[in-house]
Amino acid sequence: MADQSDWLTFIQRQGAIIKNEQVVETPASLEPTDLSIFALTDSGLIDIAGPDASKFLQGQVTCDIEQLSEHSVQLGGQCNPKGRAIFSFLVAKPSPERVRLRLPAGMMTRAQQSLGKYMVFSKAEFETCDNPVIAIMGQLAKATIERVFGQCPSQPNSCAQLPSATIICAAEDRFELWLNSDSGQTLWSELFQDAKFLPSFIWYNAEINAGIATVQPETSEEFIPQNMNFVEIGAVSFSKGCYTGQEVVARMHYLGKQKRHMRLASLATNSVPRPGSDVTSQDGGQSLGKVVNACANNSQTCDALVYITDTAYESNDAYIDGVALTFKPLPYPLRSSEQSS
């Protein structure tokens, strides 16, 4: 079985420059294309296997694992007892006794330690999964996947579980693939025939513009799920029953009046702010919120998801390190905004 070091060596032979586990540069130009391919080397997979795999995870995470099928995926997170998200993930169910989580590589140890505290009395265990994570984006993405695999899921949050890969539809023109480690290099070569190999930040920028937040090491246990719009993206179930931190999350949903929300913004700067950075007033004196995620785009600016006061958003008066935020519409309505009116 191939391991991650083989995969990283292979990707570097394709011309990739990898820093902090992420592909930051490739030989291709950054001009828009109908078909782009990404090696998400800074993402990892955790398998939880055993007769109690689903039951165990159901009592620990915000999404409803029992509603997961072999043809679907869900976003979710695990919270601490105070309702603050320790890590976030995308989850699939490759088989009845196996659940697979995809999350940032920098969060994998923390996730295993956090879940492992509760796993000792369950018939479930962690198993190694070295499958490479890649992504494909563009107008030709679906047709290319169909050419290589013979099928492609077409609805957001649907997936196809094949012996060679798990294919996940993130949006009409964006797909994530978890490749079988033994055939990953061959599949990459087949997919790459018509595609442009681009740095990972372009994929992550698309995720940010889709309003999908990811817990990073800097923000672990900083935000409750509502602070990151997890309700809006379907990462929280209010009907599944108890899980760690559920009382806090439910209380905010039913009784809370949020005066802060996560918003989408752009910044005219080449300096990408770190998650957890302060959002302030123009003079830098008043803290208005925090950066959830931020990423460069290919126009020498960056986009960010920021959790800030409604007042700062409505007055269009928010800054990061002295650079003004320009707010953009999220691709979904804020359900909780009714609670703050």
> pTM above 0.85?
yes
The neighbouring-strand residues paired with 302 are 267, 296
Band (pLDDT 50/70/90 cuts) for residue 341 is: very low
Query: What's the residue count for the chain?
Result: 341
The Cβ of residue 315 has, within 10 Å, a number of other Cβ atoms equal to 10
Mean pLDDT for 107-126 is 94
Two tokens at 191? 């997919």
> Is residue 336's pLDDT more than 60?
no
pLDDT at residue number 32 = 75
Closest C-alpha to 332, from 240, 261, 239: 261
Mean pLDDT for 71-84 is 97
> Is residue 339's pLDDT more than 70?
no
Question: Is 18 exposed, middle or buried (CB count within 10 Å of its CB: 0-12, 13-18, 19+)?
Answer: middle
pLDDT at residue number 30 = 86
pLDDT at residue number 120 = 87
Please report the domains of the chain, with CATH numbers, ordered by start residue.
Answer: 4-209 (3.30.1360.120), 259-329 (2.40.30.110)
Q: Which residue has the tokens 């592909």?
A: 23
Mean pLDDT for 182-202 is 94
pLDDT at residue number 2 = 52
β-pairing, 174-179 with 278-280?
A: unpaired
Contacts of 102 (CB under 8 A, 6+ apart): 43, 44, 45, 89, 90, 91, 92, 133, 176, 178
Two tokens at 116? 């492992």
Closest C-alpha to 84, from 218, 280, 244: 244
> Is residue 256's pLDDT more than 90?
no
pLDDT at residue number 253 = 83
Closest C-alpha to 65, from 109, 97, 104, 113: 97
Distance CA 167, CA 145 (A): 9
Lowest mean pLDDT among 30-34, 119-123, 156-160, 304-308: 30-34
Two tokens at 236? 């929280």
Contacts of 51 (CB under 8 A, 6+ apart): 97, 123, 124
Longest dimension (CA), the chain: 57
Mean pLDDT for 239-258 is 88
